[in-house]
Amino acid sequence: MSLRVLNPNAEVLNKSAALHMNINAAKGLHDVLKSNLGPKGTIKMLVGGAGDIKLTKDGNTLLKEMQIQNPTAIMIARTAVAQDDTSGDGTTSTVIFIGELMRQAERYIDEGMHPRVLVDGFEIAKRATLQFLETFKTRVVMGDEPDHEFLKMVARTALRTKLYEALADQLTEIVVNAVLCIRKPEEPIDLFMVEIMHMRHKFDVDTRLVEGLVLDHGSRHPDMKRRAENCYILTCNVSLEYEKSEINAGFFYSNAEQREAMVAAERRQVDERVCAGNENNFVVINQKGIDPPSLDVLARAGIIALRRAKRRNMERLVLACGGEAVNSVDDLTPDCLGWAGLVNEHILGEEKYTFVENVKNPFSCTILIKGPNDHTIAQIKDAVRDGLRSVKNTIEDEALILGAGAFEIAARRHLVNEVKKTVQGRAQLGVEAFADALLVIPKTLAENSGLDTQDAIIALKGEHDNGNIVGLNLQTGEPIDPHMVGIYDNYSVKRQIINSGPVIASQLLLVDEVIRAGRNMRKPS
Amino acid sequence: MWEVVTIQVGGFANFIGSHFWNFQDDLLGLAEDSHADPVYRNQSLNMDVLYRAGETQQGASTYTPRLLSIDFQGSLGSLSSRGSLYNSAPSSDPLHISTWTGDVSRQVSEPHKKNLFLQSLYEEELEKSTSSVNGTHKFKDEELVECLQSGVQFWTDFSKVHYHPQSLYEVSGLYVDPEDFNNYGIGKGVFSSGLHGEEITERLRFFVEECDCIQGIQFIVDDSGGFTGVASDFLENIADEYSNTPVLLYTARSPGSYTRPVSRNNSILRSLHDAISFSKFSSYCNLIVPIGLPSISKSKATTTLNINDENLFHCSGVYAAALHSTTLPLRFEPPGPAVESQYVTGALDFNRFVTTLAGQGRQNILATLDVAMPAPPLTGNLDQHSFLESMYSLTPELNEDAEDFQAVESMTVHGALHAGGNRASILEVKDSISSAYESTSTRPLFSHLSAALCPLPIPLPFPSMFRNRVSQSGLLLDKPISWSQSKSSLDVHSIPMAARLRSSNAVLPYIEKRLGNLRKLGIQRGSPGTSLLRSWGLEKEEVEDMGEVLSKMVQALNPRLEESSDSD
């Protein structure tokens, strides 16, 4: 209490009050997010102060939109968001797992048990569960030709938690093909090489995979072609603007005409060298600006030009079309040029889109999301991100985990039947609490589907005792074999949840005092 | 051609910006209004420099600021972050969710009520669209002015501008109280976390891609809180991506941030915040103008303006007016081949503007902003050099008495009046300003004068803060007409303005203070701020480099110091 002396405005909560504050905050967050979980969860509609509507079923998005203020809840939210950043999914699961660990802990603490003992049990149980995860996982051999079926199953499982079935199934194909397109042997998968572009246009089912690139801008000259076939693509990072406005004025070129003349000369050279009179077209895609006089020169030469391309598109273009990005006109050689079968511009109001399609051997592609309104687009975008991550994780993990709660039931059984015996003393209770907390996943799935939680869990436990690895059929409440219906989760996501959940729960349980320096101190009094 | 992109980051910056765009909106409206003073119809101002023309999906054409505004989630009050122009009539019921067949739960946060002013704007629009002629106005202008005077909570409360859907970005998922988001370190990681940086740079690219030839970026940042961390990462990104585009940065400090620190730690935190923010900014932009006095009502401004320091709505109005005036020459229509324009003179482009002030001799990138609001009459019984003396600084922490024979200035005077209330011609302005310069004792080495005929129009949602010696056209009367409350936009329709940016050694205390704090608290052995700086991701070497850069700035401005400090 010496803090009171130092700062009379500080609020101090004693041990038990602090602990219960933490437990309540964790349970509160758990209650908000639990209805999100699974393919039968509830979508949340958030109506903001200005009356604008956000729709989300993504735990990550929800946590960011909620403007959480409680310090404990913030700590949990940060962990869950970090979970999403590293493995791409599992935000909701992390939050409800932490919430359930705290709820289980509360039971024992109210009976007089010291949190320290529980935490020791959590630690033992966590290590054992991670070991069990290794034996439980389903190996998926990737090699040169990854198993499409497995990839589709995991992507479908992820997508169906965000979108209605028919749309999820349609996107499954798109997502798997997108990742396989950008995959290079012996290299980590860079999901940024899948561009996600959206158009407020048509319907959700018009979402498609474009092998090639869709850029969100078009040419800025009235005389440039809107459509061209058999195009050579020049990707460059060269300023084609009148230099007067720029800082090192007059250093290389004394006026704009000189500069254009140089560019035009370069173009002619390349034209002669490359196309020698055939019907090929040229497209220049520049990361820097191109001013109207330069656009004029290019348009007159029959060249389509786009300016201010995204930095990342420079990389993507090269991967999609071939060639290489040049930083100066002096470096220009025919080898720098990429190729695309079709370049086509599409205009929606003030928005322009340029499709660079029909490319050879692309290592970059675009998922073009369509929908009649922003909500639909945002929903699909969330889902696509999850889907892409799940496929990437699978390829990198070379493993999957049976879903629909099968793992949690099996892990609980393992902890109770095998691990608990090996533990001395009261830490056993910590192991048991952990084991029971794992059941929150199948329980919540059952609850969200409107099933009787008790019946469902008992049925599952029974099957597992008979040696059948089963999960929950959310339609009927009966046990099913997740493999038969293709429900798989990511190994790395599960691993991360089991790793981080108990760490946070333990920190919250071991808190002695909560000291909050009075906020009012900041204000002038 | 010659587009300028405006960026506003943080609360106070957006308050200033909101006034700024209100001025522009008024100029646009007056230019089309056949009943308005003819001076507005021939402004010779190219509004396309600041605005963009667009089109909604329904084909309606739009004209919106080329602006990117960044602020907290929830700081937009009753305005939707998508603006109001591009919202298509909901084709389907928003409650019908096409992507999900399962359950829906609604969480409705308490709606922000539109204030009287916003309601009246809304109804005006409705009338326009239903083209009912001369609908009776439900709201009296006096009521609207009154409701704003004390009731402004968000910067959107007094904004009459339509924004593009890409313009307003809300930073979500910060998990801190706006009050605690008060230092560089806390905002440091925000730009790179999640998708914030990605989304922000994408939006900037959207506006830049449209520009045929961007002349520069004007950037206003709220200098007192965590948004400096966001802004410095953003500026670094801009310097990298648009390397040839000059950036003019206004670091704005709200009066609220000058409260006394509550503890030693708090004071260390603030000192280092100031030092680090400034040295980060200085490496990524071409000219920095600090604005925001601790108490503007205690400055010379008080002779003409009655300002409530506590009220952001009030004080941001003064800064916005000054910003408007200084950047006006960037928009002057280029003069015809032979004839001098009778409306404007002294057009500048962004690059020349910035290099004039920062690029010469000492390469001092820190400039001060002085203003006379309203500007005094050009001629008359007052003696001449009082025109220059009537200007007061809006930049804090200055040595106002500094004598500097190498000072460089860029001055803008617009809408100047004669003592009798007639508008002075461009030529007269030029003559009297140059003679005013000649009669002063401390003449700058170089000064550029821009002048325009068009005064600053006072929009309806401008705070009531003119003293009663200010007349309807902004003329300063010797004797007040009557005793009354502060005059509002209903009594004062326009004012003449004079503003100047000045590069001089008056900024020495500003830099020295930051350098001193950085050395004392961050660099010296065993200094108390080392661990704090490390928690901000700054290692010792980096901090030392920053100190080095700052001390070079000081030396450039104060050569005498160089000799004496050689010993250490």
Smallest Cβ distance to A43: which of B102, B205, B214?
B102
Q: How far apart are CA A409 and CA A479, in angstroms?
A: 11
Q: Which residue numbers of A are catalytic?
A: 58, 91-92, 386
Q: Which of B315, B291, B211, B257 is nearest to B501 (CA)?
A: B291
CA atoms within 13 A on the CB side of A425: 7
Please determine, for residue B372, whether its predicted confidence score (pLDDT) is greater than 80: yes
- Residue at B372: amino acid letter: A
Q: Which of B561, B276, B551, B223 is nearest to B395 (CA)?
A: B223
Q: What is the pLDDT of residues A262-295, one digit of tens each?
A: 566 656 555 554 444 455 688 888 898 888 888 8
Please determine, for residue B218, whether its predicted confidence score (pLDDT) is greater than 90: yes
Please determine, for residue B565, whether its predicted confidence score (pLDDT) is greater than 60: no
DSSP state of A415: I
Q: Which pLDDT score, from 0 to 100, does residue B220 have?
A: 94
Q: Which pLDDT score, from 0 to 100, does residue B231 have?
A: 92
B contacts of A376 (beta carbons < 8 Å):
98-99
Please determine, for residue B133, whether its predicted confidence score (pLDDT) is greater than 70: no
* Residue range A437-451: mean pLDDT, rounded: 89
Residue B237, Cα to own-chain centre: how many angstroms? 21
Note whether A220 contacts B59, CB cutoff 8 Å.
no
Among chain A residues, the shortest Cα distance to B259 is held by A524
The ipTM is 0.85
3-state SS assignment for residue B447: strand
Please determine, for residue B7, whether its predicted confidence score (pLDDT) is greater than 60: yes
* Residue range B345-366: mean pLDDT, rounded: 83
Q: Which pLDDT score, from 0 to 100, does residue B140 have?
A: 78
Note whether A524 contacts B260, CB cutoff 8 Å.
yes
CA atoms within 13 A on the CB side of B75: 22
* Residue range B196-217: mean pLDDT, rounded: 90
Return the minimum-mean-pLDDT range out of A94-103, A146-155, B453-462. Answer: A146-155
In a mutational test of the B interface, the residue from A43, A57, A375 whose CB has the highest number of chain B CBs within 10 Å is A43
* Residue range A50-75: mean pLDDT, rounded: 81
Q: Which pLDDT score, from 0 to 100, does residue B298 have?
A: 81
B contacts of A204 (beta carbons < 8 Å):
98-99
Q: What is the pLDDT of residues B56-75, one digit of tens each?
A: 877 888 899 999 999 988 88
Note whether B213 contacts A245, CB cutoff 8 Å.
yes
* Residue range B141-169: mean pLDDT, rounded: 87
Smallest Cβ distance to A379: which of B99, B202, B209?
B99
Q: Which pLDDT score, from 0 to 100, does residue B563 have?
A: 47
Q: Which of A255, A259, A218, A222 is nearest to A238 (CA)?
A: A259
% of chain B beyond a pLDDT of 70: 91
Q: Which pLDDT score, from 0 to 100, does residue B15 have?
A: 93
Note whether A44 contacts B105, CB cutoff 8 Å.
yes
pLDDT range class, residue B207, cuts 50, 70, 90 = very high
In a mutational test of the A interface, the residue from B80, B175, B258, B269 whose CB has the highest number of chain A CBs within 10 Å is B175
Of B37 and A175, more confident: A175
Q: What is the pTM of this model?
A: 0.89
B contacts of A78 (beta carbons < 8 Å):
175
In a mutational test of the B interface, the residue from A7, A61, A241, A246 whose CB has the highest number of chain B CBs within 10 Å is A246
A contacts of B259 (beta carbons < 8 Å):
522-524
Kind plus residue range of the DSSP H or E element containing B345: strand B344-345
* Residue range A475-492: mean pLDDT, rounded: 86
How distant, in Å, are the alpha carbons of A11, A13, A16, A515, A516 from that of A1? 10, 10, 15, 10, 13
Note whether B211 contacts A289, CB cutoff 8 Å.
yes
Among chain A residues, the shortest Cα distance to B355 is held by A247
Tokens at A26, concatenated: 């964790």
DSSP string, A454-522: HHHHHHHHHHHHTT---EE-TTT--EE-HHHHT-EEEHHHHHHHHHHHHHHHHHHHT---EEE--GGGG
Note whether A308 contacts B80, CB cutoff 8 Å.
no
Q: How far apart are CA A476 and CA B329, in angstroms?
A: 73
B contacts of A220 (beta carbons < 8 Å):
210, 212
Contacts with A386 (C-beta within 8 Å, 6 or more apart), sequence order: A58, A88, A89, A158, A159, A161, A162
Q: What is the mean pLDDT of chain B?
A: 83
Q: What is the pLDDT of residues A298-307, one digit of tens each?
A: 888 788 889 9
pLDDT range class, residue A523, cuts 50, 70, 90 = very low
Note whether B97 contacts A375, CB cutoff 8 Å.
yes
Crossing angle for the helix pair B508-517 and B264-284, to the nearest 10 degrees: 120
Beta bridge partners of A198: A369
Q: Which pLDDT score, from 0 to 100, does residue B169 have?
A: 93
B contacts of A79 (beta carbons < 8 Å):
none
Please determine, for residue A257, whether its predicted confidence score (pLDDT) is greater than 50: yes
B contacts of A164 (beta carbons < 8 Å):
99-101
Greatest CA span in chain A, whole angstroms? Answer: 89
Please determine, for residue A247, whether its predicted confidence score (pLDDT) is greater than 50: no
Of B254 and B443, more confident: B254
* Residue range A25-33: mean pLDDT, rounded: 85
Note whether B351 contacts A246, CB cutoff 8 Å.
yes
Smallest Cβ distance to A246: which of B54, B104, B244?
B244
pLDDT range class, residue B383, cuts 50, 70, 90 = low
Q: What is the pLDDT of residues B135-152, one digit of tens each?
A: 456 677 878 888 888 888
Note whether A307 contacts B105, CB cutoff 8 Å.
no
Please determine, for residue B53, whether its predicted confidence score (pLDDT) is greater than 60: yes
B contacts of A351 (beta carbons < 8 Å):
57
Q: How far apart are CA B323 and CA B332, in angstroms?
A: 15
Of B179 and A347, more confident: A347
Residue for token pair 């008080």: B302
Smallest Cβ distance to A245: which of B210, B259, B350?
B350
Note whether A49 contacts B109, CB cutoff 8 Å.
yes
Return the minimum-mean-pLDDT range out of A104-113, A182-191, A515-524, B81-90. Answer: A515-524
Kind plus residue range of the DSSP H or E element containing B363: none
Q: Count contacts between A and B (CB, < 8 Å).
A: 174
Would you say A403 and A482 are in contact if contact means Cβ atoms under 8 Å apart? yes
Note whether B74 contacts A49, CB cutoff 8 Å.
yes
Q: Which of A384, A13, A83, A220 is nearest to B194 (CA)?
A: A83
Closest CA of chain A from B170, distance in Å: 11
Note whether A49 contacts B102, CB cutoff 8 Å.
no
In a mutational test of the B interface, the residue from A522, A523, A525 whose CB has the highest number of chain B CBs within 10 Å is A522
Q: What is the mean pLDDT of chain A?
A: 81
